[in-house]
Structure 1
């Protein structure tokens, strides 16, 4: 049906849309006037659904913000994890360094000194004896006492002076022993077989050694006469 509005056909297209809209509005007003109750119900129903503002541009910005927030959160979490790993690594390195330092300290520490063994009592200084008849007799007497062989200084000296006049190299080459090939020798004029038989341990095996000659002679006299003190002549 054609519009009865005067001059409608001569209006531009956009003006036609405007006129159409006005016409539609007028029709709606008429409809309300005719059926007011029905219009009220439709209006209430329409007002219950509120229009939602939306545009592609606004949706894109919202999505971009959400993505940026997620990226920022992921980077922050990654940094936090990296920090934890770095802290754990640093702690492990410190512990290893501490263990190394402790090990080196133990290796460098000198071993505990063992308690010193009790010092052995110093050996008594060797007694010095004069290199003469008195010294030889004194040394021989110390050995004889240690061996339990009886003798006295006086008994030894009187026989030494009678037999050799104190000469440790004295030798008898004229008596019966000499005739038999075993001359008497030394301070107390002993023959070799007797000296060897009565030699005192710890002394020289040289029959001309003064101390060895005296101790062997005293040992023989103790066996045969009870002591050198009891010898008053050749024996």
Structure 2
């Protein structure tokens, strides 16, 4: 400071000369305690902007938002010397100060909250997508079911019942075979559990084919299961017909009627 005196007898007047910078008043002057909160608030805003800008710049180059990396890009790494001393002037505050540390912690907390909210939103979106896919599949299945005739729906219900009994008794079969059973039944009896063939070679020998899968009596008796001995019972007839198919052809893959359909030569009896 420079002192300039008035003429003798008057009190000296002291002028303070400070290094000024546009928009930055009192850059090197110690602040009284009551002004510190305002100064710190301003610094907090500045640090937040700078660190946020740094994080944005870091994200542009690294592809990930990282407030700590943003602070480091602008000199915001912890300053142990500044932590050890007491900050009591504006020019002593930097990005390594306790204030900056608190601000970085706040930013990390905010980022964590944002990531959690984003995760919840993503989970909600995935759940909606899965629900939409499940609904679409159900709608398609319902539409396919609606196109089936009452006879087909009834035969498929009998087939599922028979499959459950067959699987429980050692036949390696699942409900995936419902379509094959329906195809055989449709071709053999047109879904009529009381159907009897009176014109083929079996009928000529006195053993006409009977029931849904058109089993002759000797075949039915050989492949029925205990408790399922009624050839005209839809479930019992399917059980015997499937067991015969597995025993003779090894399953539906070699069933002559299904092989003919797949080959385009048409169905033929088994």
With normalisation by structure 2, the TM-score equals: 0.37
Relative contact order: is structure 1 or structure 2 higher (C-alpha 8 Å, sep ≥ 6)? 1
Which structure has the bigger radius of gyration?
1
With normalisation by structure 1, the TM-score equals: 0.42
